[in-house]
Amino acid sequence: MKQFITSSLLRFLFLTGQSVAVGVVGTPPGFAASTTGGGSATPQYPADITELKSWLTDSTTRVIVLGKEYNFIGSEGTVTETGCRPTSNTCPGNGGQDAINHADWCTNGNAGTGATSITVTYDEAGVSPIDVGPNKSIIGIGSSGVIRGKGLRVANGSKNNVIIRNIHITELNPQYIWGGDAITLAGSDLIWIDHVKISLIGRQHIVLGTSASNRVSITNNEIDSVLYFTGSNDLITLKGNYIHHTSGRSPKVSGNTLLHAVNNYWHANTGHAFDVSSGGMVVAEGNVFQNVNAPLLLPATSQVFASPDTTTNKACSTYLGHVCELNAFGSSGSFPGTDTDFFSDFSGKTIASAGSNSGVAASAVANAGIGKI
């Protein structure tokens, strides 16, 4: 008979220095279904930020368990240099973001006409993510696994095979544009990001760069800022996430990215949710949009199937294996999109199942994010 160890017991055993058999339960839905991460490797508990970084970056297959906060703020010093106050910062000192001059952003016109140069001081750790090696599972215990002041980057490997699960990434120079990204994928494959909470991030919460990230599943996460999916031929399953209090680019999709967005809950978005352009391909089904000004930024300059009605949704059957589920809207704008020409791109892929939009909002609020598995 299987025995299940509760989060409280795991935390107790961790704090008392005892080893426990902890690992990933279940498999990711959708494109990254074959991701195994560290597999059955013996769980290891890093003592401090030095050991955590060492284990994450090496080439050894590992299950790394986080049962406390790992605070990188100040660990690599600070940088003081010339940045800018963009025109978008209408409330400096009261929540508005100034900017680091990354990639000449302040001087190439992106900061807006009338932007002014200022001195900025930021934490170096926040803009230099940890480069995660292949075959790793990073798992938090309960709600205790926190990485503060530094993000994660999975890049440049043909079979990265990484699981990031049940951790909280927070406080990457949130006062600055270009202050740091929480999770970056670029040229990666087989990535599962599950039950992660991301907060107080200077730039993107999850960003897929211009190099192809083949199979990615992003599930059951709590996100309140930018999702930037602009890779090359990326395959992304976005399922069961709670995406709230954003103002745009949640997500931005381009670069021949194929995105299956299913049973997510978007809430309180003052701008737009989807921004689809430059080759992006999106199937959105069974989602709920509540108080979302524009579920889709118009005009969409690429291909979108927004599951408009029960008859049209039958087109999903051939390549997705089911009739697409209707989306639901409350005090939200419209979500047009009936493109089906790209459906053959789903052929031969592992496709996430879809349920009715009924209950999606309540389920996402109750189950997405850290400490809920």
* Residue 62 bears catalytic tag: no
CA distance 141 to 168: 11
Instruction: Give 105-109's long-range contacts (Cβ < 8 A, gap of 24+).
Output: 105/177, 105/178, 106/82
CA distance 180 to 149: 9
User: Any residues with CB less than 8 A from the CB of 308 and at least 6 apart, and which?
Assistant: 336, 337, 338
Q: What is the DSSP string of 76-141?
A: T-EEEEEEEE-TT-SSTTTT--EE--GGGTTTTTTT-TT-EEEEEEEEGGGGS-EE--SSEEEEES
Query: From the CA atom positions of the chain, what is the Rg in Å?
Result: 20
Cis peptide before 299 (omega within 30 of 0): yes
User: Any residues with CB less than 8 A from the CB of 359 and at least 6 apart, and which?
Assistant: none
CA distance 38 to 158: 16
Could you tell me which residues are beta bridge partners of residue 237?
217, 260
* Residue whose pair of structure tokens reads 């290891």 in the numeric block: 44
User: Any residues with CB less than 8 A from the CB of 182 and at least 6 apart, and which?
Assistant: 151, 152, 169, 172, 198, 201, 204, 205, 206
CA distance 89 to 106: 13
Q: Which of 153, 203, 215, 249 is catalytic?
A: 249
Catalytic residues: 249
